[in-house]
C-alpha cells in the first residue's frame, strides 16, 4: 500500500469540504482589506469635513481682520479731517523714538550682564571640589562603611 503523506490527506479533506486553507486565508485577507478601506474612507470624509470647517473659520477671521483694518483707516482719515496737523504727529514720534532707544540700551546692558552671569555659572558648575572630610570613627565596622562610601569603583578595600 502506498504511503500517503499528512499534507495530501489534509488537501483531500479540504477538497471534500470545498475549501482549502489557502482559500480561507485569502478570504480573511480580503475582509481585512475591505474593512481597512471603509475605515480609511470614513476618516477621509471626517478630515474633509474638518478641513471645510477650518477653511470657513479662516475666511471669517480674514474678513474680521479686514473689517478692523478698514475701521482703523476710516478713524485715521476722520482724525486728519478734523484738523490734526502732521507737525504734531512728527513731534510725538521723536519723543517715542528717544524712549525706544533708551529702552533698547537698557535691554542690551541687561543682556550683557546676563551673559556674564551665565558664563560664571557655567564655570562654577564645571568646577570640581574635593568631598568634605568625614568624621573619623574608631570602631572597625564604621570605619569600613565610611571608607567604602568615599571610595570609587576603581578602588578596592583590603582587610
In a domain, 31, yes or no: yes
Q: Rounded to whole angstroms, how far apart are CA atoms 39 and 45?
A: 10
Residues 137, 146: contact at Cβ < 8 Å? Answer: yes
Q: How far apart are CA 150 and CA 136, in angstroms?
A: 12
User: In this structure, are residues 150 and 134 in contact, taking their beta carbons and an 8 Å threshold?
Assistant: yes
Q: How many Å apart are CA 132 and CA 154, to the nearest integer?
A: 20
* 35 pLDDT tier (thresholds 50, 70, 90): very high
Whether residue 155 is contained in a domain is answered as no
- Structural domain includes residue 23: yes
Residue 159 lies in a domain: no
Whether 24 maps to a domain, the answer reads: yes
Assess if residue 61 is contained within a domain: yes
Query: What is the reported pTM?
Result: 0.32
Mean pLDDT for the stretch of residues 37-41: 92
Which one is predicted more confidently, 94 or 45? 45
Domain count of the fold of the chain? 1
Q: Determine the average pLDDT of the residues in 8-27.
A: 77
Which grid cell sits at 155?
Answer: 578602588
Segment 132-140 shows an average pLDDT of 64
26/44 Cα distance (integer angstroms):
27
Identify the domain containing residue 3 by its residue range: 1-84
The predicted pLDDT at position 38 comes to: 93
In a domain, 123, yes or no: no
Q: Provide mean pLDDT across the span 9-15.
A: 80
Q: 55-92: string of b/e by CB count within 10 Å (b at 16+)?
A: eeeeeeeeeeeeeeeeeeeeeeeeeeeeeeeeeeeeee
Classify residue 68: in a domain, yes or no. Answer: yes
Indicate whether 65 pLDDT > 80. yes
pLDDT at 97 over 90: no
CB 32 within 8 A of CB 40: no
Amino acid at each position: 500500500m502506498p504511503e500517503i503523506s499528512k499534507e495530501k490527506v489534509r488537501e483531500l479533506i479540504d477538497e471534500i469540504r470545498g475549501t482549502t486553507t489557502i482559500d480561507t486565508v485569502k478570504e480573511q485577507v480580503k475582509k481585512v482589506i475591505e474593512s481597512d478601506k471603509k475605515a480609511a474612507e470614513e476618516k477621509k470624509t471626517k478630515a474633509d469635513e474638518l478641513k471645510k470647517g477650518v477653511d470657513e473659520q479662516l475666511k471669517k477671521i480674514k474678513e474680521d481682520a479686514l473689517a478692523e483694518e478698514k475701521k482703523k483707516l476710516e478713524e485715521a482719515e476722520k482724525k486728519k479731517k478734523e484738523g490734526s496737523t502732521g507737525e504734531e504727529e512728527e513731534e510725538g514720534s521723536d519723543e517715542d523714538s528717544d524712549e525706544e532707544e533708551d529702552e533698547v540700551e537698557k535691554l542690551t546692558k541687561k543682556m550683557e550682564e546676563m551673559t556674564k552671569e551665565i558664563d560664571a555659572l557655567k564655570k562654577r558648575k564645571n568646577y570640581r571640589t574635593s568631598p568634605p572630610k568625614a568624621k573619623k570613627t574608631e570602631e572597625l565596622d564604621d570605619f569600613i562603611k565610611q571608607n567604602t562610601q568615599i571610595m570609587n569603583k576603581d578602588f578596592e578595600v583590603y582587610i
